[in-house]
Amino acid sequence: MMSPSGRVRVNMKIQRTVLVILSLMTGGLLVFADMISPSHTCVKPIKPSQFATREDRARFDRQIGKYKQCLSDFVNEQNKEARMHSEAARNATNELKGI
């Protein structure tokens, strides 16, 4: 029969092993996520060779406006993310310099 202190050591080893495995799995997913470039999901309208009515032209213009706004929103979000990454890298560099 194992003593209580022996059981505690075994439980701590199991917990440490589980933590290491979870860390490796999670870290691997995060690395993989950074390997994939984000891309927009905006749908570009197809321009017909000619418009049958003014309403068709107006509808196409509205679709183009939505497409441009979608692209603009994507660019703004990516720039925001890039600023956050740059700030994190700058903070880590400053921390490294302080060591």
Taking only the tens of pLDDT, the chain with its 99 residues reads 556 666 656 666 777 776 666 666 665 555 555 678 899 999 999 999 999 999 999 999 999 999 999 999 999 999 999 999 999 999 999 999 988
Tell me the torsion sign for CA atoms 11, 16, 17, 19.
Answer: positive
CA atoms within 13 A of residue 19's CA, in its CB half-sphere:
6
Distance CA 61, CA 55 (A): 10
Distance CA 65, CA 42 (A): 11
